[in-house]
Amino acid sequence: MKIFIALSVLIICMTACNQQNEKTPYDSILQEPPFDILTDSINREKDNDALYYRRGLILKEANYTEPALADFNKAWSLNKREEYAVHISSILLDKKPDSAQVFLESALRIIPSVFFELQLAEAYILQNKNDEALKVYDEILKKEPRQIDALMKRSALLEEKGQSKESLASLEKAYELAPFDVEISYALAYKYAENNNPKVIALSDSLIRMDSSASHAEPYYFKGVYYANTGNKEKALQLFNQAIQKDYNFFDAHMEKGVIYFDQGKLDEAYKTFELVITISPSYANAYFWIGKIQEKHGLLKEAKLNYQRAYGLDKSIIQAKQAADKIK
C-alpha cells in the first residue's frame, strides 16, 4: 500500500512538472480573448497542428509576432505543410534574416518551392550576401526562365555589381514577359534614361499614351533625364516642368531642374528650386546639400557648412555632404 501511495505521489509530481515545463512567456496573452478558445482546444489536442496554425494566424494579425512564430514552428514540427513554412519564413525575414536563411535551406530539402527559393535569396540580400542571392536567382531562372520576380531582383543586384549590360538584359526580359506592368516599365525606362539610351523616348511615349487619366509624371521625368544626360538642357527643363505639372510633389524633377540651373551658373534659380523642395518636404536631405553648394560658391561658408551637416544628418548615404562640411574650417 505504501509503495502504491509513493508511486501515485511520484506520478502527480511528474505531471505537475511537465505542466510547469510547458509554460511559455506568452501564457498570459494566450489566455486572453480571442486566443483563449483555441488555447483551450490546444490543451485538449496537443498534437493538432491545425490548431496551432489557426492561433498563429490570429496572433500574427494582432501583431504578436513572437508567440505567432512559436505556434507556426510547433505546427511545422507536427506536420510539414507549406503554408506553415511560409509564415515562419516571412516573420524570420523581417526579424532575423540569418535564421530565415537556415530555416529556408532546411525547408527546401523537404518542400522544393520557387517561393522558398525567392525568400532564401531575399534572406541572403538582407545579410549583404549578394553573390549567394544571385546564384539562387540563376538557379530559379534555369528552371523557370519566365520568373519575373527573379529577373527583376537579379537585374538590381547586377547593377549594384556594376554589370550594367547584364542588368539591362535581365530587365528587358522581364519587360518582354510583362509589357503592361507599370513597375517594370518604369524601371526599364529609367535605366534607359540613366544610360543615355534613346529607347527611353519610345517607351516613355507609350507610357504616356497608356495613361488614360493623364496624371502620371514619371514618363516625362524619364525623358527629361535622358535629355539632361545627352546635353539638351532646355528640352530637359521643359520635360521636368511637365512632370511637375502632373505631380507638384515629384521631388526628383524639382531636384533635376535645380541641378541644371546650378550647372548653368544660374545660382538664384537653383537656390529657389531647392528651397521650394525644402518648403514642401523639410526633411529632403539632398536639397540641403545643393543649397550648401550654392552658399559655398557665394562665400557663405558658415551657412554652407551648416546645410552640409543637415544633409548628412538626414541621410548618412550622402557622404559628399560630410566631406564638404569637413573641408570648411
**pLDDT tens track for 15-50:** 444 444 456 678 889 999 999 999 999 999 999 999
Q: What are the percentages of helix, strand and coil residues in the chain, rounded to 5?
A: 80, 0, 20
Q: How much is the pLDDT for 2?
A: 46
Predicted confidence (pLDDT) per residue in 243-259, tens digit:
999 999 999 999 999 99
**CA end-to-end distance (rounded Å), the chain:** 93
> Given the C-alpha cell 537653383, which residue does it identify?
270
Grid cell in block for residue 45: 489536442
pLDDT digits (tens, 9 = 90+) for 132-158: 999 999 999 999 999 999 999 999 999
Residue 28: predicted pLDDT: 87
Exposed, middle or buried, 104 (CB in 10 Å: 0-12/13-18/19+)? buried
245 vs 128, 239, 276, CA distance in Å? Answer: 39, 10, 15
Q: Please report how many Cα atoms fall inside a 13 Å half-sphere around the Cα of residue 158, on the Cβ side.
A: 19
CA 324 from centre of chain: 30
Mean pLDDT, to the nearest integer, of 59-65? Answer: 95
Q: What is the CA radius of gyration of the chain?
A: 29
Cα distance between residue 67 and residue 65, in whole Å = 6
Average pLDDT value for residue range 285-295? 98
Question: Contact 253/278 with Cβ under 8 angstroms?
Answer: no
Asked if 166 contacts 158 with a C-beta cutoff of 8 angstroms, the reply is yes
Task: Find the helix packing angle between 267-280 and 285-297, rounded to 10°.
Answer: 150
Give DSSP secondary structure letters for 234-266: HHHHHHHHHHHHH-TT-HHHHHHHHHHHHHTT-
d(CA 20, CA 247): 61
Cis peptide before 34 (omega within 30 of 0): yes
pTM summary value? 0.82
pLDDT band at 214 (very low <50, low <70, confident <90, very high): confident
Percent of the residues in the chain that have a pLDDT greater than 70, as a whole number = 93
pLDDT at residue 13 tops 50: no
The predicted model gives 211-228 an average pLDDT of: 95
The grid cell for 288 is 540641403
Instruction: Report how far residue 237's alpha carbon sits from residue 147's, in angstroms, rounded to the nearest whole number.
Output: 38
Give which of 251, 320, 239 is closest to 284, Cα–Cα.
251
Residues 217/249, Cβ–Cβ less than 8 Å: no
Does 8 score more than 90 pLDDT? Answer: no
Please report the pLDDT score of residue 23 as a whole number: 62
Distance from C-alpha of 301 to C-alpha of 94, rounded to nearest angstrom: 43
CA distance 21 to 6: 22
- Using an 8 Å Cβ cutoff, are 167 and 197 in contact? no
Q: What is the pLDDT of residues 308-324, one digit of tens each?
A: 999 999 999 999 999 99
224 close to 240: Cβ distance less than 8 angstroms: yes
Mean pLDDT, rounded, for 205-217: 93
Alpha carbon distances (Å) from 294 to 9, 10, 207, 233: 85, 83, 36, 19
C-alpha cell at 233: 538642357
Mean confidence (pLDDT) of the chain: 93
Q: Mind listing the domains of the chain with CATH numbers? A: 248-329 (1.25.40.10)
In angstroms, rounded to a whole number, what is the distance separating the alpha carbons of residues 327 and 329? 6
User: What CA–CA distances, in Å, run from 290 to 165, 244, 297, 320?
Assistant: 31, 19, 11, 11
